[in-house]
Chains A and B, each alone.
Chain A
């Protein structure tokens, strides 16, 4: 009994713990986000443009619904960080020299704000500072308009715009090689020849303002100034990642506890049903003495409450502990001024209440019938288990099975529902591991696809200004460069029917090897001489198909608007890629050979020399090195794999153990007498153990294929859940994952079965024969 209650308690604790952890993390992140956004005036609308006079800010402020306007200069530049071989990319953002209320305000963690007239002073983002061990007072070099300048760090800051700090168009954050720097607006204005001008603006809206209307009015005002199109928070990367994460937390925080508590209900039901039937006579006596059915029922409910209270204490404690861990994990990716754990009492109370509800559900169903029996009826022993020809006979299996195996089948057949639920629960534990590991397998596959088949370059360079074809030859002369593929990227708005989307169209050279769109079988998609190749996810967003002609509104230069046909679809897991043949793109733009950047294949041995010369090349604003980025990704991913696998296994083992241990204990209680009488007849310990555990083995055998199927279905569900614009998890079924899940559950079953079997071995045979049953 104690063992069984312990098993129930553990499963219940898992339910409570997952609820507390996920809800607390959800609440904490949500509150932190809301608080941060409002206290530091996170903007509602964002626009990047080429150049506009500061006076235009007033026109934007006049748009109805706009409450404030923050114009600024934003520039990506190359940085030389002490101790970092390759150049990093810094996003310079202008702020007023005198601190004033502004949108996307800064939280100053350390140091001080800029001092008026203090040339070369800079605030840097905390994530960047931590990753590069940069402290207040240190200096770093940045290319400001073609010239290296030394900047001094006077403060370390955080901005609501960069809670998730990632280089645009990249998949994982790399805080060593991308950081945000805030500098005096006056300094940036003069450095970049932007006197009285801005190239970026954020707006905040009044409550109830029509966001879409404002966006289209802003676009109208700014289109003459090279606007890349206004967008709302939903398309703001940091906001999007955080919000997606919150959605995930909310879903998991609902589903996982539900599964655990469902199992709790079932286990308690089986446990109490058996208890009530063994104590039938006692119940009758109590009733005869005048105890009401409620008093008796309460007695059994108390037992359930023991499991609930123990499980609740354990679950709340574990949940709080895990929330701290989870919050620590989140602080690695999401940078808040303060991310405090919000385990409000109401979360704990709800957790315990749900758990108690689930337990009572199972318990009441078990006890109700027994306590309703009239005392006289209950006094009589329970009618013997009746068996009728059933499953065995119907399946015609009878002659193939030994009598001992028939015992197993008939007992399962007699308690069909119990067997069904047990199978479901055990298969659930397999499915939990499979589905949980799916995300891991899928991310691994995603990275493999993206960085082996799609992005094959060693280094990506982005030019500060558009370059002519000469740039290609200059790059080829750099040390260690084996191959140069230059590309053109133009910002554009694709329009099909009433749907539209802001994208970057990539023009690739005919013989591109380093970057190429691939289809779902990872075969390169050959770029047609004219027309577009669209990522499938983008095509679905636009509800367009190959053969459809869509409108391309270029958001650069003369901003031509063209009709272009979709020639083929690509199917990559990352981003919403749009590809075009490089010369076709040039023709579309009516421009000569103009280049935005290049991909390089590099001789690894010469890489340090290359990085050094890239650092000395001011015309390059961004350098991304595939190898280092992947290495840093695998490192942090590897750590999180271990943690999450440990949890999945823990959850699965708890459920499998709970179900099998309870099942075997109940079977022992129901059939211990039978099995002992087999011992009297000369059956060995091993033989009766096999009969006892045969039931659990049969259930396990049924649960394995079901668990595999269930796990696969959940994986499909998750792959839809994770079909995001930023990335899509491919559907993958890794045989090793399935084998591992099965192995874990088989071992858990075996161990819990053997723990129960030990009791069988120590049963006193002569004792058994004295009892009637």
Chain B
């Protein structure tokens, strides 16, 4: 596809840089440490899978990376943007220009069709894909004018991915994108994500509870009790179609 020109992989200079990142929530008098001193670099074109038990801080990590939340202490940089203490407006601009999100519960706008849900994002992006192209990319070229309530869960999730991808983000962050999907649909969604990573060179970060997915990643980050327990580099990525669980 001509619009999906692959970009040259620029190794070794990190795109995201997290240093000593902590996140504390105050619940009444109790301090909950969701992250306790996380150091993490993300590199261009990488496919990362984040694994860890429930409550270990995965979502918190992802939200801070995506500019949805601020760390309590430590430093977060995206290229030359300092996300550590950015204003709400700066974070909004950062998300708008660089980040695509996919969530477990699709978060589509029920009053807009699939096409319009995608157009919602391309409207405010600088060099977006054509919304119908983005939907074709996720295999929904024949569902453009369906409302979310007229789509299955997997189809809705693919619309969400198309929406996240359509603005050609530099990073695509997915919090349990297959959590609500069955085996076959889940695989379909993973294939789409892999293709986006491969063809657009977008950094992809996926949170999952499913260890079987780790095979398709460049690196696997294991989080435990708010800290990174282990980072594992795969020597070779397995295509999602070959995964099974």
Contacts and interface: CB of A to CB of B under 8 A. Distances in A.
A682 B147 contact: no
Given A407-B112, A681-B163, A387 B147 contact: yes
Contact of B149 (A384, A673, A681): A384
Interface stretch (A290-298, A513-521, A621-629, A764-772): A764-772
B148 A384 contact: yes
Contacts of B120: 403-404, 678, 681
A766 B58 CA distance: 13
Nearest to A681: B121
Interface string B39-77: 000000000000000000001100100001100000000
A386 interface: yes
Interface string B85-106: 0001100110111010101010
Contacts of B105: 769, 771-773
A388 interface: yes
Contacts of A685: 88, 92
Interface in A726-749: none
Given A386-B149, A772-B105, A403 B110 contact: no
A410 B103 CA distance: 25
A406 B149 contact: no
B149 A765 contact: no
B111 A387 contact: yes
Contacts of A388: 147
At the interface, is chain A mostly helix, strand, loop or mixed? helix
B69 A407 contact: no
Nearest to A761: B88
A692 to B, nearest CB: 13
B13 interface: no
Contacts of A765: 68-69
Interface string A240-254: 000000000000000
A684 B110 contact: no
A563 interface: no
Nearest to A393: B145
B68 A766 contact: yes
Contact of A682 (B63, B92, B111): B92
Nearest to A673: B107
A348 B111 CA distance: 47
B147 A386 contact: yes
Contact of A403 (B89, B96, B112): B112
A411 interface: yes
A376 interface: no
Interface string A679-692: 11111110100000
B99 A682 contact: yes
Given A681-B121, A682-B97, A407 B68 contact: no
Interface of B: 59-60, 63, 68-69, 88-89, 92-93, 95-97, 99, 101, 103, 105, 107, 109-112, 116-117, 119-121, 123-124, 145, 147-149, 163, 175
The 6 A-B residue pairs with the shortest CB-CB distance, nearest first, are A682-B96, A677-B107, A410-B111, A682-B95, A403-B120, A403-B116
Interface of A: 383-389, 402-404, 406-407, 410-411, 414, 673-674, 677-685, 687, 765-766, 769, 771-773
23 contacts: A386-B110, A386-B147, A386-B149, A387-B112, A403-B116, A403-B123, A404-B120, A406-B112, A407-B109, A410-B111, A410-B112, A677-B107, A678-B109, A680-B68, A681-B163, A682-B99, A683-B96, A685-B88, A765-B68, A766-B68, A769-B63, A769-B103, A769-B175
